A = this chain, B = another copy of it.
Amino acid sequence: MGDEEGKPNPIMSSSCSSDQTLGALKPLRCIVKLGGAAITCKDELESINEENLRSVCAQLRQAMTPSKSPSPARVLGMDWSRRLGNPTVSTVDEFREQQALDLDSNFIIVHGAGSFGHFQASRSGVHKGGLDLPLVKAGFVATRISVTSLNLEIVRGLAREGIPSVGMSPFACGWSTRQRNIASANASQIIKALEAGFVPILHGDAVLDHLQDCTILSGDVIIRHLAQLLMPKYVVFLTDVLGVYDCPPTDPNAILLREIEVTEDGSWSIVKPKLPHAKKEGMPVTTVSP
Protein backbone atom coordinates (compact mmCIF):
# COMPACT_ATOMS: atom_id res chain seq x y z
CA MET A 1 0.00 0.00 0.00
CA GLY A 2 0.89 3.63 -0.27
CA ASP A 3 1.52 5.30 -3.61
CA GLU A 4 2.30 8.99 -3.99
CA GLU A 5 -1.22 9.90 -2.89
CA GLY A 6 -0.99 7.68 0.16
CA LYS A 7 -3.47 5.27 -1.42
CA PRO A 8 -2.93 1.55 -1.63
CA ASN A 9 -0.78 0.48 -4.52
CA PRO A 10 -0.98 -3.15 -5.63
CA ILE A 11 2.46 -4.47 -6.33
CA MET A 12 2.76 -7.44 -8.62
CA SER A 13 5.61 -9.22 -6.95
CA SER A 14 5.23 -12.42 -8.90
CA SER A 15 3.04 -14.09 -11.43
CA CYS A 16 2.86 -17.48 -13.01
CA SER A 17 1.53 -18.46 -16.37
CA SER A 18 0.25 -21.92 -15.60
CA ASP A 19 -3.41 -22.57 -16.24
CA GLN A 20 -3.43 -25.70 -14.14
CA THR A 21 -6.89 -26.18 -12.70
CA LEU A 22 -7.94 -27.36 -9.26
CA GLY A 23 -9.93 -30.36 -10.32
CA ALA A 24 -13.13 -28.97 -11.81
CA LEU A 25 -12.42 -25.50 -10.41
CA LYS A 26 -11.41 -22.73 -12.73
CA PRO A 27 -7.80 -21.66 -12.17
CA LEU A 28 -7.31 -19.48 -9.12
CA ARG A 29 -7.06 -15.91 -10.30
CA CYS A 30 -5.21 -14.27 -7.49
CA ILE A 31 -3.77 -14.55 -4.01
CA VAL A 32 -3.67 -11.16 -2.33
CA LYS A 33 -1.48 -10.44 0.67
CA LEU A 34 -2.66 -7.59 2.85
CA GLY A 35 0.48 -6.57 4.70
CA GLY A 36 0.04 -5.86 8.39
CA ALA A 37 1.52 -2.40 7.83
CA ALA A 38 -1.08 -1.71 5.14
CA ILE A 39 -4.15 -2.28 7.27
CA THR A 40 -3.10 -1.48 10.83
CA CYS A 41 -1.36 1.38 12.58
CA LYS A 42 1.87 -0.42 13.35
CA ASP A 43 2.91 1.74 16.27
CA GLU A 44 -0.39 1.55 18.13
CA LEU A 45 -1.42 -1.75 19.77
CA GLU A 46 -4.42 -3.36 18.02
CA SER A 47 -5.35 -0.35 15.95
CA ILE A 48 -6.80 -0.77 12.46
CA ASN A 49 -6.04 1.81 9.78
CA GLU A 50 -9.72 2.21 8.92
CA GLU A 51 -9.14 4.49 5.95
CA ASN A 52 -6.65 2.15 4.32
CA LEU A 53 -8.82 -0.87 5.05
CA ARG A 54 -11.83 0.76 3.40
CA SER A 55 -9.72 1.75 0.42
CA VAL A 56 -8.23 -1.74 0.05
CA CYS A 57 -11.65 -3.40 0.24
CA ALA A 58 -13.09 -1.04 -2.37
CA GLN A 59 -10.13 -1.67 -4.69
CA LEU A 60 -10.48 -5.42 -4.25
CA ARG A 61 -14.15 -5.21 -5.13
CA GLN A 62 -13.20 -3.24 -8.22
CA ALA A 63 -10.63 -5.90 -9.15
CA MET A 64 -13.29 -8.59 -8.81
CA THR A 65 -15.90 -6.75 -10.88
CA PRO A 66 -15.94 -7.91 -14.52
CA SER A 67 -14.98 -5.00 -16.77
CA LYS A 68 -18.18 -5.21 -18.81
CA SER A 69 -20.39 -4.95 -15.73
CA PRO A 70 -22.23 -1.68 -15.17
CA SER A 71 -21.38 0.01 -11.87
CA PRO A 72 -24.02 -0.98 -9.32
CA ALA A 73 -26.30 1.78 -8.04
CA ARG A 74 -25.04 0.93 -4.60
CA VAL A 75 -22.93 -1.85 -3.16
CA LEU A 76 -24.95 -4.36 -1.16
CA GLY A 77 -23.06 -5.22 2.00
CA MET A 78 -22.88 -8.71 3.53
CA ASP A 79 -22.15 -7.66 7.10
CA TRP A 80 -25.60 -7.44 8.66
CA SER A 81 -24.44 -6.62 12.15
CA ARG A 82 -26.16 -4.60 14.79
CA ARG A 83 -23.20 -2.26 15.10
CA LEU A 84 -23.74 -1.04 11.55
CA GLY A 85 -27.07 0.40 12.61
CA ASN A 86 -30.11 -1.21 11.11
CA PRO A 87 -29.73 -1.03 7.34
CA THR A 88 -30.05 -4.74 6.96
CA VAL A 89 -33.74 -5.20 6.32
CA SER A 90 -33.63 -3.14 3.13
CA THR A 91 -30.33 -4.81 2.17
CA VAL A 92 -31.91 -8.24 2.57
CA ASP A 93 -34.80 -7.22 0.33
CA GLU A 94 -32.45 -5.84 -2.30
CA PHE A 95 -30.45 -9.08 -2.30
CA ARG A 96 -33.74 -10.92 -2.80
CA GLU A 97 -34.19 -9.07 -6.09
CA GLN A 98 -30.68 -9.84 -7.38
CA GLN A 99 -30.27 -12.66 -9.90
CA ALA A 100 -26.49 -13.02 -9.60
CA LEU A 101 -23.60 -11.46 -7.71
CA ASP A 102 -21.69 -10.61 -10.91
CA LEU A 103 -18.34 -10.78 -9.16
CA ASP A 104 -15.27 -12.79 -10.16
CA SER A 105 -14.42 -13.71 -6.60
CA ASN A 106 -11.91 -16.44 -7.41
CA PHE A 107 -9.42 -14.93 -4.96
CA ILE A 108 -7.73 -15.92 -1.71
CA ILE A 109 -6.76 -13.16 0.70
CA VAL A 110 -4.08 -13.62 3.34
CA HIS A 111 -3.30 -10.89 5.82
CA GLY A 112 -0.49 -10.18 8.23
CA ALA A 113 -0.84 -9.11 11.82
CA GLY A 114 0.59 -5.59 11.96
CA SER A 115 -0.12 -4.25 15.43
CA PHE A 116 -2.27 -7.30 16.27
CA GLY A 117 -0.67 -10.37 17.75
CA HIS A 118 2.95 -9.21 17.65
CA PHE A 119 3.01 -7.92 21.20
CA GLN A 120 1.37 -11.06 22.56
CA ALA A 121 3.58 -13.43 20.56
CA SER A 122 6.88 -11.72 21.16
CA ARG A 123 6.38 -11.14 24.90
CA SER A 124 5.55 -14.80 25.46
CA GLY A 125 7.90 -16.39 22.93
CA VAL A 126 5.23 -18.42 21.11
CA HIS A 127 7.57 -18.72 18.09
CA LYS A 128 10.12 -20.55 20.22
CA GLY A 129 7.59 -23.15 21.42
CA GLY A 130 7.31 -24.96 24.74
CA LEU A 131 3.63 -25.22 25.67
CA ASP A 132 4.51 -26.67 29.08
CA LEU A 133 5.39 -23.14 30.11
CA PRO A 134 2.26 -21.28 31.27
CA LEU A 135 3.62 -18.08 29.69
CA VAL A 136 3.84 -19.70 26.24
CA LYS A 137 0.41 -21.30 26.54
CA ALA A 138 -1.14 -18.01 27.62
CA GLY A 139 0.71 -16.20 24.84
CA PHE A 140 -0.62 -18.69 22.29
CA VAL A 141 -4.18 -17.98 23.45
CA ALA A 142 -3.62 -14.22 23.58
CA THR A 143 -2.00 -14.17 20.12
CA ARG A 144 -4.88 -16.09 18.57
CA ILE A 145 -7.45 -13.78 20.19
CA SER A 146 -5.63 -10.79 18.75
CA VAL A 147 -5.09 -12.08 15.20
CA THR A 148 -8.57 -13.58 14.91
CA SER A 149 -10.10 -10.28 16.02
CA LEU A 150 -8.19 -8.58 13.18
CA ASN A 151 -9.32 -11.33 10.80
CA LEU A 152 -12.93 -10.70 11.77
CA GLU A 153 -12.56 -6.98 11.09
CA ILE A 154 -11.07 -7.64 7.66
CA VAL A 155 -13.83 -10.13 6.81
CA ARG A 156 -16.34 -7.47 7.88
CA GLY A 157 -14.63 -4.79 5.79
CA LEU A 158 -14.66 -6.99 2.68
CA ALA A 159 -18.25 -8.11 3.32
CA ARG A 160 -19.36 -4.49 3.57
CA GLU A 161 -18.02 -4.12 0.01
CA GLY A 162 -20.16 -7.04 -1.09
CA ILE A 163 -17.27 -9.52 -1.26
CA PRO A 164 -18.43 -12.97 -0.04
CA SER A 165 -15.58 -13.43 2.40
CA VAL A 166 -15.20 -16.21 4.95
CA GLY A 167 -12.61 -16.22 7.73
CA MET A 168 -10.46 -19.37 7.86
CA SER A 169 -7.84 -19.54 10.58
CA PRO A 170 -4.88 -21.76 9.71
CA PHE A 171 -4.91 -23.20 13.25
CA ALA A 172 -8.57 -24.23 12.95
CA CYS A 173 -7.93 -25.55 9.43
CA GLY A 174 -5.40 -27.93 10.99
CA TRP A 175 -2.26 -26.36 9.57
CA SER A 176 0.82 -27.26 11.58
CA THR A 177 4.59 -26.99 11.36
CA ARG A 178 7.67 -29.07 12.10
CA GLN A 179 10.40 -26.87 13.53
CA ARG A 180 8.69 -23.85 12.00
CA ASN A 181 8.39 -25.29 8.47
CA ILE A 182 4.93 -26.26 7.22
CA ALA A 183 4.31 -29.92 8.04
CA SER A 184 0.61 -30.19 7.36
CA ALA A 185 -1.46 -27.71 5.43
CA ASN A 186 -4.66 -29.26 4.19
CA ALA A 187 -6.11 -26.84 1.67
CA SER A 188 -9.18 -28.94 0.85
CA GLN A 189 -11.56 -26.74 2.82
CA ILE A 190 -10.08 -23.63 1.21
CA ILE A 191 -10.65 -25.17 -2.22
CA LYS A 192 -14.23 -26.12 -1.30
CA ALA A 193 -14.90 -22.57 -0.13
CA LEU A 194 -13.55 -21.26 -3.47
CA GLU A 195 -15.68 -23.74 -5.41
CA ALA A 196 -18.72 -22.50 -3.50
CA GLY A 197 -17.93 -18.94 -4.59
CA PHE A 198 -16.48 -17.63 -1.33
CA VAL A 199 -13.26 -15.71 -0.79
CA PRO A 200 -11.23 -17.43 1.96
CA ILE A 201 -9.55 -14.94 4.30
CA LEU A 202 -6.51 -16.47 6.02
CA HIS A 203 -3.99 -14.89 8.34
CA GLY A 204 -0.70 -15.33 10.10
CA ASP A 205 -1.53 -17.47 13.13
CA ALA A 206 -0.19 -19.32 16.15
CA VAL A 207 -0.12 -23.01 15.24
CA LEU A 208 0.98 -26.35 16.70
CA ASP A 209 4.50 -27.53 15.87
CA HIS A 210 5.44 -31.23 15.85
CA LEU A 211 8.85 -30.70 17.41
CA GLN A 212 8.65 -27.58 19.55
CA ASP A 213 4.90 -27.70 20.46
CA CYS A 214 3.95 -24.41 18.83
CA THR A 215 5.16 -21.53 16.73
CA ILE A 216 4.01 -18.60 14.58
CA LEU A 217 3.06 -19.32 10.98
CA SER A 218 3.46 -16.13 8.98
CA GLY A 219 1.17 -14.90 6.22
CA ASP A 220 4.09 -14.97 3.78
CA VAL A 221 4.77 -18.65 4.41
CA ILE A 222 1.05 -19.39 3.97
CA ILE A 223 1.09 -17.57 0.63
CA ARG A 224 4.18 -19.37 -0.63
CA HIS A 225 2.56 -22.70 0.20
CA LEU A 226 -0.80 -21.82 -1.36
CA ALA A 227 0.86 -20.39 -4.46
CA GLN A 228 2.87 -23.58 -5.01
CA LEU A 229 -0.24 -25.69 -4.49
CA LEU A 230 -2.88 -23.70 -6.34
CA MET A 231 -0.81 -21.99 -9.03
CA PRO A 232 -2.70 -18.70 -9.15
CA LYS A 233 -2.38 -16.38 -12.11
CA TYR A 234 -1.16 -13.60 -9.83
CA VAL A 235 0.16 -13.11 -6.34
CA VAL A 236 -0.32 -9.50 -5.31
CA PHE A 237 1.21 -7.89 -2.23
CA LEU A 238 -0.36 -4.77 -0.75
CA THR A 239 2.09 -3.11 1.59
CA ASP A 240 3.02 0.32 2.90
CA VAL A 241 5.86 1.05 0.47
CA LEU A 242 5.88 1.51 -3.30
CA GLY A 243 7.32 -1.86 -4.13
CA VAL A 244 10.45 -3.99 -3.80
CA TYR A 245 13.68 -2.07 -3.12
CA ASP A 246 17.32 -3.04 -3.39
CA CYS A 247 17.71 -2.48 0.36
CA PRO A 248 15.35 -1.65 3.25
CA PRO A 249 13.11 1.20 2.03
CA THR A 250 13.81 3.15 5.21
CA ASP A 251 17.31 3.72 3.75
CA PRO A 252 17.17 7.10 1.93
CA ASN A 253 19.33 5.64 -0.86
CA ALA A 254 17.03 2.68 -1.44
CA ILE A 255 16.20 2.15 -5.12
CA LEU A 256 12.75 0.97 -6.20
CA LEU A 257 13.01 -2.07 -8.47
CA ARG A 258 10.66 -1.80 -11.45
CA GLU A 259 11.02 -5.30 -12.89
CA ILE A 260 12.34 -8.54 -11.48
CA GLU A 261 12.67 -11.61 -13.67
CA VAL A 262 12.06 -14.98 -12.05
CA THR A 263 13.19 -18.09 -13.89
CA GLU A 264 11.70 -21.59 -13.83
CA ASP A 265 14.17 -22.74 -11.18
CA GLY A 266 13.16 -19.91 -8.83
CA SER A 267 16.33 -17.82 -9.27
CA TRP A 268 15.77 -14.16 -10.03
CA SER A 269 17.48 -11.06 -11.36
CA ILE A 270 16.76 -7.36 -11.50
CA VAL A 271 15.78 -6.18 -15.00
CA LYS A 272 14.82 -2.54 -14.33
CA PRO A 273 16.40 -0.27 -13.35
CA LYS A 274 19.92 -1.29 -14.26
CA LEU A 275 21.76 -0.97 -10.98
CA PRO A 276 25.41 0.12 -11.01
CA HIS A 277 26.33 -2.57 -8.48
CA ALA A 278 23.45 -4.99 -8.75
CA LYS A 279 22.69 -6.21 -5.28
CA LYS A 280 20.80 -9.40 -4.69
CA GLU A 281 20.96 -9.23 -0.97
CA GLY A 282 19.14 -6.67 1.14
CA MET A 283 15.39 -6.80 1.50
CA PRO A 284 14.28 -10.37 0.97
CA VAL A 285 12.04 -10.87 -2.05
CA THR A 286 9.30 -13.46 -1.77
CA THR A 287 9.06 -15.20 -5.10
CA VAL A 288 6.84 -17.91 -6.44
CA SER A 289 8.10 -20.44 -8.92
CA PRO A 290 5.95 -20.57 -12.03
Contacts and interface: CB of A to CB of B under 8 A. Distances in A.
Interface of A: 45-47, 76, 78-83, 88-89, 91-92, 95-96, 98-101, 119-120, 123-124, 131-132, 134-135, 137-142, 144-146, 148-149, 152, 155-156, 159, 162, 164-169, 171-174, 176, 186, 188-189, 192-193, 196-198, 208, 213-214
A168 to B, nearest CB: 5
A141 B123 contact: no
Given A148-B152, A149-B152, A167-B172, A159 B141 contact: yes
Contacts of A162: 138
Nearest to A209: B196
A81 B46 CA distance: 7
B134 A145 contact: no
Nearest to A47: B82
A15 B138 CA distance: 31
Contacts of A167: 144, 148, 169, 172
Which of A79, A137, A164, A172 has the largest count of B CB atoms less than 10 A from its CB? Answer: A172
Copies in the complex: 2
Contacts of A138: 76, 78, 80, 91, 95, 162, 164
Nearest to A100: B134
Given A100-B134, A137-B197, 7 more contacts: A78-B142, A80-B123, A144-B167, A168-B171, A169-B172, A174-B186, A176-B192
A214 B196 contact: yes
A192 B209 CA distance: 11
15 contacts: A45-B82, A78-B142, A80-B146, A81-B142, A89-B123, A92-B123, A92-B139, A98-B134, A101-B137, A141-B159, A141-B165, A144-B155, A145-B155, A172-B172, A196-B213
Given A96-B135, A148-B152, A148-B167, A78 B173 contact: no
A82 B46 contact: yes
